[in-house]
Structure 1
Amino acid sequence: MDNRNLAKKILAAIGGKENVTKVQHCMTRLRFRLKNSSNANKEIVKKIDGVMGVTEAGGQYQVIIGNNVSNVYKELVDILGISPEQVVEEVEEKEKRSLFNRFITMFTGIIVPVLGVLAASGVLKGLLVIFTQLNILSNESGIYQLLHIGSDALFYFFPIILGFSAANQLKTNPYVVATIGAGLVYPDFIALYNEGVQLDFIGIPVLLANYTQSIFPIIVAAWLVSLLEKQFKKLVPEALKLMGVPFLLLVTAFPITVLAIGPVTIYLSQLLASGANGLYSLNPIVAGVLLSGIWQLIVMVGLHGAFIPIIFNNLATMGYDPINAMLTVSVFAVAGSVLGVALKAKKKSQIKPVANASALSAILGVTEPGVYGILVPLKKPFIMTVIAGSIGGLIVGIFESVQYNFAGMGIFSIPGFISPDGIHSGFIGFLIAITAAFLVALILTYLFGYKEDIELSKQSIKQSNEEKEVKQAVEKVVYNPINGKVIPISEVNDGVFSSETMGKGFAVVPNEGVVYAPFDGTVVNVFHTKHAIGLLSNTGVELIIHIGLNTVELNGEPFNILVKDGEQIKQGQKIGEFDIEGIKAKGYDVTTPVVITNSNTFSSISIVATEETKEKEISVRIQ
């Protein structure tokens, strides 16, 4: 299936574009915010060819696509008519979402845009350590010093970059928040802290701190700016808003950040890091076995985002993180299990190329294709993954391996586990752990986890049946809105309609002066002359019913529309009446075009109306 059709089917199955308030994507998932999650049919979405799975977590409806997610996302936002990360509507479903879910959703939205350059910087830092340890580069050489500056710049100025991202997520002025972030790492500010200067602000003592690489102070500052900005916009005259609002934000938000937000969040960050690592320090071996073993289950239910603040906070406050070492081991266990399936599968097996590609993807750090495409459907290889991951986690716990720089997942993560002081036992232990997890998973899966293509044949039959169900389930239909004789739109005596300039459709010569709702949806527009009604279905079909030709000239006289703009309608509901003989008496043609005005957004539109049609009959099938 091509990416555009896949995007259309997903959109239809989650309740149409009118149910989407926001959409983002990470490395493998489309992350939707929906007005009403009950309008989304999870079972239908899961059965769509190209979808690996569905989960709801952190207030997001997550559709797992795999490596192709960015291409599907491009088609999706094009269909929605929005730019990436743009909010479609501010109105969201009034559901109770926990403070934890709201925080994770916000934090993920802030971090995701930065992940690429963050991982690249971590990899570069790790490689520089390797090159200096192997005497390939001297740390006094120009090459090393320039690349070191380039790799370290993001971490040093993290409050600026993160502030900009946080402001975009919270829909406030990104330049003001980035400026506050710059203030936190301003050279003179850092110098005051290093010199131990006692400072006060209007009599209030300032608790100076080094905010380079910090995370939470600038995020909370962005939230404060988002609240203050709304109030200042009300107070400042229109002519002065361009400069006045940022001025007020800087003179209020920056001092508050330094006086209160910074010290409090730094203290809480230290508590969070101490708590997470305290749990680890109680028994790193047990922690490694448990976390590495169940990590893919955590990913499957979409709760892995809860670990992101802990990992980043550990790196920011302590300079290292033990948690991600255990989680990374699980990635290599997935790669081993999937490769085991690939090696065991027959040469002509349909699953072999899929498993090979998924194994490579997992080695590079993206496990969803392997988990959802291979391990979960086959079940036994998933069990082998859990066993191998636990063994790898055991080794990580024994060696107390930690990560020093976030450098992505998979093989790209390896340089991040090298200490700035050089290679030591923790790094060696990490290499042993990922190798063991990979090999144990591969061997167990090859020997016990996959029986040739028996499972595949069953899966193929099941998938074939499911594809048929999906095709039927996501199909959109339009019922006939007017009883009468159906004629092709090309035969309508009006060039705009007959040329399909407005869209594809059909026409009815009515024998009854009643208009029925052709689907469940919303009344978009009742024309003031009452001769035409614009509708939008719950599945995204935009349709106009134009009663008669040139009847706009009748100024509404023979028409009685029973609905109003914005009203919800049900298929078969009477939504209008008109006087057939009255229209004819005035010399007008009563032929009524029924046109799908967004025809170009669908892959196929089939007119299936019978010659003599009634309101309970299907007139159009759309995919």
Structure 2
Amino acid sequence: MAENKNRALAAAILPLVGGAANVTTVVHCMTRLRLGLADRSLVQDEALKAVPGVMGVVEDDTYQVVLGPGTVARVTPEFEALVEEERAAAPAPGSAAGAAPAAAPEPHPVTAEELAARGAELKAARKARNATPLKLFLRRIANIFVPLIPALIGCGIVAGVNGLLTNLGWAPGVTPALGALASGFMALIAVFVGYNTAKEFGGTPILGGAVASIIVFPGVGDVEVLGSRLSPGQGGVLGALGAAVLAVYVERWCRRRVPEAVDVLVTPTVTVLVAGLVTVFGLMFVAGQIASGIGTGADWLLENTGAFAGLVLGGLFLPLVMLGLHQALIPIHTTLIESQGYTALLPILAMAGAGQVGCAVAVYLRLRRNASLRRTIRSAMPAGILGVGEPLIYGVSLPLGRPFITACVGGAAGGAGAGSGPKSLPLVKTVVVPSGPWHAPTYAP
């Protein structure tokens, strides 16, 4: 029954985005179906927004249909299957099947040339809006870290359960295993970051992972740089980013100059050797200093401008989520976790989610006769409470206008309160929720 529901939603979306012939790519993130489209002008935005189950649309480098967590992972395979079925059923150009109908084709309001010109204009305008250097950079950073979120969630929740059991003194025979499960991914996260970075920048992903693995290899502790020994993990995800990007450029250099006959041997060797040595004798030290500076800066910000910093961060986080740019903060959170064991910024940012939930509750209570909107709020509220804000943003507050502003104001107020007294918080351990790393109280015995 659920499968039929997901297929029905996919079937409702497909014709409104121009059909299978207009779809070039299909992927999904945590809440959105991301489509590459050949002609943006064929999309029927308003009709698509009115489809039950669609919480909103976002136009970026891809056309994004907001479906919500869980739903999007089930609808996407159905959507892909429908695209393949429609393409398979379409007759080949010039075939007998295609020429069989004797009736004249229905008149179209515009010619193909006009339609192509309109699509080109829309595409150019969209690229002009979204192709700023900052947005392109943040989008690439997000593309590197977004695939890691499921592992961050799973390992973080295991870490939270393990911390709770440890504090209560329960299951002492199980907690070491849970600790290993929770910590294993974070211990090797640099490798995954290196892999995704090389993939995003057009290199061979496994070479990016190989170079980044040097950072977490225990034997690196025997290497001396500037009179001091390196520490395994020094530089963390920032070092992994730099190492993988360097590996991509070395690989490209080799591809252009190494003869094809020996490319398979020479290019990987030179890439790992050059990028690896630069990483060990330079990037790890530099990235380690930057990571330390981020931790020191975060502490200074909260100690000296706590309430104001919380006000700004809490108030601006929902607009960042709306634009899909909030994922660019993941490297900062990850760096803080690696260097300090926790990230003090995320409890402040979580206040924006609390403001969004409060806004949705207010709308639910005020609009008692709007059954459709109240149904949307009920379906999106669990995700909002867990920290996934897109369903409530695109399905409730943003379309209504003023509620979105009040949600931002609420987030700013909560952020100011959370930022004004960080030293009063209990000792914490790292936990991960859908919006990213977070803290769960861990009281010292």
Deviation at 1:102? Answer: 2.5
- In the other structure, the counterpart of 2:182 is 151
Match of 1:575 in 2: none
1:70-469 aligned at under 5 Å gives the runs 70-78=73-81, 97-137=131-171, 141-190=172-221, 192=222, 198=224, 208-211=230-233, 214-343=236-365, 346=368, 349-400=371-422, 401=425, 404-409=429-434, 416-419=439-442, 422=443
User: Does the CA-based 8 Å contact 2:398-2:404 persist in structure 1?
Assistant: yes
CA distance in 2, matches of 1:244, 1:320: 42
Q: Is the 8 A contact 1:162 1:215 kept in 2?
A: yes
- Once the two structures are superposed, residues 109-129 of structure 1 have per-residue CA deviations (whole angstroms, 9 ceiling, x without a partner) of 111111111121112212222
Identity percentage of aligned residues: 24
Using the alignment, how far apart are the partners of 2:411 and 2:372 within structure 1? 27
Distance 1:61 1:251, change over 3 A: same
Residue aligned with 1:211, SS: coil
Provide the C-alpha distance between the structure 2 equivalents of 1:209 and 1:55, rounded to a whole number of angstroms.
43
How far does residue 407 in structure 1 lie from its aligned partner after superposition? 0.4
Q: CA offsets per residue over residues 291-334 of structure 1, 9 Å max, x none?
A: 22342233223332343332223223333222211111222332
Q: Distance in 2 between matches of 1:41 and 1:99?
A: 27
Rounded Cα–Cα distance in structure 1 between residues aligned with 2:76 and 2:368: 34
Map of 1:25 onto structure 2: 28
8 Å Cα contact 1:215/1:313 also seen in 2: yes
Cα deviation, residue 383, structure 1: 4.6
> Residue 5 of structure 1 aligns with which residue?
11
Higher helix share: 2
Q: Using the TM superposition, give the Cα deviation of residue 173 of structure 1 relative to its aligned residue in structure 2, in angstroms.
A: 2.3
1:405 partner amino acid: T
The structural deviation recorded for 1:340 is 4.1
Larger radius of gyration: 1
Paired residue secondary structure (1:350): helix
1:102 alignment partner AA: L
CA shift, 1:32, in A, is 5.4
> Could you tell me which residue of structure 2 aligns to residue 447 of structure 1?
none
State the TM-score, normalizing by the size of structure 2. 0.75
Q: Secondary structure at the match of 2:18?
A: helix
Unaligned runs of 5+ in 2: 85-122
**What do the CA deviations read for 1:66-109 (whole angstroms, capped 9, x no partner)?**
2322234334555666xxxxxxxxxx978683332222111111
Q: Distance in 2 between matches of 1:391 and 1:30?
A: 33
Q: Residues 4-26 of structure 1: CA distance to partner in whole angstroms, max 9, x if unpaired?
A: 33442454399933xx5x65432
On the 8 A contact 1:273/1:310 being kept in 2, the answer is: no
* Counterparts of 2:444 and 2:68, CA distance in 1: 34
Q: 1:149: Cα distance to partner?
A: 0.9
Higher relative contact order (Cα pairs below 8 Å, separated by 6+ residues) = 2
How many Å separate the matches in 1 of 2:285 and 2:34? 33
Whole-Å separation in 1 of the counterparts to 2:18 and 2:351: 38
- Whether contact under 8 Å (2:235, 2:286) holds in the other structure is no
For residues 252-298 of structure 1, the C-alpha deviation after alignment (integer angstroms, 9 at most, x for no partner) is 22112112222233333444444455433332112223322342233
Output the CA distance in 1 between the equivalents of 2:44 and 2:290.
Answer: 38
TM-score, normalization: structure 1?
0.55
In 1, the alpha carbon distance for the partners of 2:311 and 2:202 equals 41
The Cα RMSD (Å) is: 3.7
Report the CA distance shift for 1:298/1:161 in structure 2 as closer, same or farther (over 3 A): closer
Contact 1:159/1:213 (CA < 8 Å) preserved in 2? no
* Bigger share in strand: 1
Q: Secondary structure at the match of 2:33?
A: strand
How far 1:408 moved relative to its partner?
Answer: 1.7
Distance 1:213 1:34 in 2: 39
